[in-house]
Amino acid sequence: MGIRNVLIEGDETLRKKSREVTEITPRMLTLLDDMAETMYANDGVGLAAPQVGVLRRAIVIDIREETSGLIKLFNPVITEKKGSQKVEEACLSVPGMSARLERPFEVTVEGLNPEGEKVQYKAYGFLAQAFCHEIDHLDGILYVDHPHEIIEPEEKEGED
């Protein structure tokens, strides 16, 4: 396992569509482990394979709640969206910036776990937001591509 470099906005890899994972190999499992380690090392809550330079449909998420824990998925797809929520978002690939935007309040996500089994998650609130954010990365979309309102640094300083 190892910590990988996170690509920064402007790197063309972040704008490309990722390919489906057709076979779960030891190399793909190492990718997930490295992504999780990289996410934790950078104090993130999610990471998509393109952010570490790999154009494969793989994500890791850990919003640090007991109910969800570390989620590792290949080929995640949002099959249902409900409601909406105004959220604050940031991204390891867009350092030093955060913005407010709208995301679904509830999503249903299907994908393959590391064992190759089909799994489904019903996610609400912050976890739904994280799924949307990471799955966007797989299609070359960054959160700043959505209609958003920049949060100025002085605005954040007053928050505690």
Output the pLDDT for position 153.
Answer: 72
Place of tokens 């390891």: 92
Predicted local distance difference test score (pLDDT) of residue 154: 65
Catalytic residue among 134, 149, 155, 159: 134
| Residue 110: CB atoms within 10 Å | 15
Encode pLDDT of 108-132 as tens digits. 999 999 999 999 999 999 999 999 9
Give pLDDT tens digits for 66-114.
777 999 999 999 999 999 999 999 999 999 999 999 999 999 999 999 9
Domains of the chain (ranges, CATH numbers)? 12-157 (3.90.45.10)
Question: In the predicted model, is pLDDT for residue 160 greater than 70?
Answer: no
**Phi, psi of 118, rounded to the nearest 5 degrees:** -75, 130
This prediction has a pTM of: 0.93
Nearest to 56 by CA among 82, 86, 76: 76
Residue 158 has pLDDT above 70, yes or no: no
20 as an active site residue: the answer is: no
Spatial contact of 136 and 89, defined as CB atoms under 8 Å apart = no
Q: Is 17 exposed, middle or buried (0-12, 13-18, 19+ CB in 10 A)?
A: exposed
